[in-house]
Structure formats: C-alpha cells, structure tokens
Chain A
Amino acid sequence: MLTAIEIEKITHELQQVPVKKAACIEALKIVQQQRRWISDESVEDIAAMLEMSTAEVDSVATFYNLIFRQPVGRHIILLCDSISCYVMGFTALRQQLQNLLHINYGQTTTDERFTLLPNACLGTCDHAPALMIDEDLYRDVKAEDLEKILEKYS
C-alpha cells in the first residue's frame, strides 16, 4: 500500500502533467526514494493510482537503469565503466571493490550496506576513472583510495 507521503507526492506530480500516465516515472522515483526499490506490490499500487495496467508500469520500471526492481543496499555504488574510465583503468577499481565487498556487479553485501552496479558514463571523463556513491561523485579515483571512501558510508 502506498503511504500517505507517497500519495501526497504523487498527487502533486499529477497536477503538473496533462495526462496521468505522464507522472509514471516521477511516481516510480517517489516510491523508490521511500523504499529504496520497486516491488511488485509497488508496481500494482502505482498502476492503480495512475489508471495504468501493471504491465505498462512494469515496462517503464524495467526500462530505466536507476529504477531498481530488486532490493538494494543502503548505499548504491555506481562504477563508471565507459570508455574514458576504461582507458584510465576502471577495471582496477572494480577488482578492488570486489575484494573489499566480496560482491560482484548487481549484488548487495550481506549486511545490506552496499550494492555495486556498473554505470554508463558519469560525464566526468577528464577526471577518469570515476564512481558515484549515492549522491557523492568521486573522481580520479585510485584503487588504494577505495577503502577510505567506503568507510564514510555506514
């Protein structure tokens, strides 16, 4: 069931758009912000509120890289794997993250602290390699910096 806060925020979005469907992505963002991910139940709830079919909402939810249809950790690590970061050695960062966290791409640590995801270009190619944790961008990252960086997130 959607919470009162979610309903209020989605209602606000509905007032900004000419057709209800147009608020679909915003509604997904709102629910994900509250619950970290989009469950089947959330898909159904959003569909009911926006007068869409669940299949239609799911087709949108599964299309976008940053809408999560599986549970994720408290912190999302997005490692840029695009071309400038490739040239500047993002693979060393991936290796080190895997060593430190014992997880692969797409997985979450057992304590639910981190989820590790590859990410297409973060748009900071002059400071490659780069990664983002939640809203924090780290640039010119070296593998040996990672342990210290991760310590900031509980």
Chain B
Amino acid sequence: MINPLAQSPIFTNQFGIGSGDPVLTILSLLSYLFIFVFIFYGQRIQMYVMIREVENSLFKLKLMKEEGRKTAVETIKEIGKPTTDPSSKVDRYLDYFTISPQNMDPAGIVNKLDHILDVRDQRMKDEVKLMAPASDEVQVYNLENTLEAAMALNFIYKVVRHYYLQGKKTLSLYTIMQLQMILPMVMKEAEAYASALKAFAYGQPIGDGAGPLIAARIMHGQEVHKIPKDCVYAEVPFENRTALVMKAEGPGGNVGKPGEAVQYLLEEYKGKVTAVVMIDAGLKLEGEALGEIAEGIGAAIGGPGVDQFKIEEAVVEQKIPLYAVIIKEDIGDAVSMMRKEISDAADKAIERIREVIKERTQEGDHVVIVGVGNTIGVGQ
C-alpha cells in the first residue's frame, strides 16, 4: 500500500513522518504533542509554574514566621525569667488584632483612633509584663517590639497562604498571578522584619531610629526633661537660638507620642517658638542613594496619622511654620538594623537642620526640633 505522506516531500522532509526512520517519526509526533499541549494547557502550565514559585516563597515565609516565634519565646525566657513556658501566651499574642474605628461619620475619628491605640499599647505592655515578669522597662519595650516583628511575620505568612490556597483551590490564574507579582515586595518586607527580630531582641538601633539618633546627637550632654508621652526634650543653644530638641525616651524600643509632646512644648513656650523642624526616616525611591538628605515642608511623621494631626493642629493654632528634613532609606532598611550609611548621615542631616534654622529664624528665637522614629538602642 502506498503511504500518501511518504509521497509528499514536504511531509517527509519537514515533518519527518513517512521518512521510514522510526526515530524521526517519534520525534515528529512528540513535537506535535508538545504544540497541542501548549496550545490547550499552556495557561495551566504557566499557572503551575507560578504556584510553585509562590509555594517556595511561602515556605520561606513559614520559616521566617517560625524563627520569629522562636526568637520571641527564647528572648522572653532569657530576659523575663518566667515561671511557666510563655509559648502559648506568645501564640495568643501573635494573633492579636486591632479594629480601627468606624469612619462613616469621620468627625472625632482621631480621638477614637488615639484612644484605641492607647488601649492597644497598654494591653501589649501588660501582656509582655505578664510573660516576662523579671524584665525592666527598657526590656519590656524591646520585647514588645520583638513580638511586634514576629506578629508582622505571622500576618504576612497568613495573608500570602490565604491567597495561595484560594488561588490553588479555584485554579484562578489571576489570583495566583497577582500574588506572584507582589511577592518580591512582600518578601523584601518580610526579610526586613526577620532581620529586625534580633535587633529588637538585643536592643540594637534600627533604620527608623535615624530621627531620634539625630535628636540625641544634638541634645547629648544637656539636661534632659521628660514630657508626655514617653518623650524627652532638652534646651540646647543652637546657632545663637534656643533649640528645644525632643525625641522618644530611649534606649528601649519606643516611638513615644510626638504629637502630644509637640503640643506640650508649644503650650509651655507659647508665643516664643518661631519654627518646628521635624526629622524622620523617609522612603527612598529605587535609584536614590541610601542616607540621602532631603528637605521639605510639613509634618514628617508616619504611623496611623494621630500624631501628624496633633502636630498640624498645634502649629496651625500658633501659625508656626513646619519644616521637614528626611533621611532616605527603603522599607527594608527602616525596620532592620541601622546601616552605616544611615548612621553616617546624621552629621549631614544636622548640617541641613542648621542651615534651615539659620535661613528661616532670627537669632534669639526658640525652635522645636523633633526626632521622629523608634528610638531603640538610642539613649539621650
């Protein structure tokens, strides 16, 4: 019988079928199979590849989460000398949540949020004290920060796992694709928290402490006064002016309540203050150098916005100009141990503050300088 395919030179030469060579025939059939598989199952194969990538990241997140828990438990045992095993309390703490106030009628929401955050803060500290009875105040702050980092890792892991399982269950390419696309950023943040665990456990300064570090450098050697809440300030002669330099009370992991502290200082020195300069770590864009200094206007402060609101209210009431100096770093540097570049940037930032004050105020004026951020590992 004549093989019609063998008669066709195109089929014989280009596709190999009918050439009589079994190897070529098998290879040709395999290539067809590949083409059909990719036409009909290409998207699914792509999804499985993505699922595998997400899975790998998820395993890494799981390890980080477990490391966070382990570090927290070990630090509590080491510092707090508890009589019972704190593991179950740590597990309970890791799932702790805060419900933000209802914002359908936004009037008065700042006070509500402030109250909720105060309650949360107090509750956290009480829990830490219960878990680690032998710890002093500084250690309580540091332990709280360690637990917060462990909490963040736990939360990230759970959210990623949720979308991974949901995507896998529904075989939704778009769910998996979105997750896979944001994973590099998520992993970067998680890695920063993972490396921050030891910093918090040992009380080492973190990148976010750039503001308090600069304030501490200016106020060092002067008499320090405590002000509400969890903040300190010192009167410092600065370029023939009086600088009221304030920061959160260190060296425990603490951000204080700079909003209330600024309100307090402006009230105490009513009519005398001619400028407020805020220093904080600012988010850098890719391509910008770490530790670069930038200057601007407004309240340089992150967080839920309560302190920003209070500072803005206080300066508006007395019509005081508000200046900002930021030290640029990315989110990873902000929550992990302070990099040398950030530590070295402190002197450059002080020079910039000096220039701002000389240009914008008169000799004999009072100026408030606020170092915003977590003051862990930075005394005064």
A binds B: no
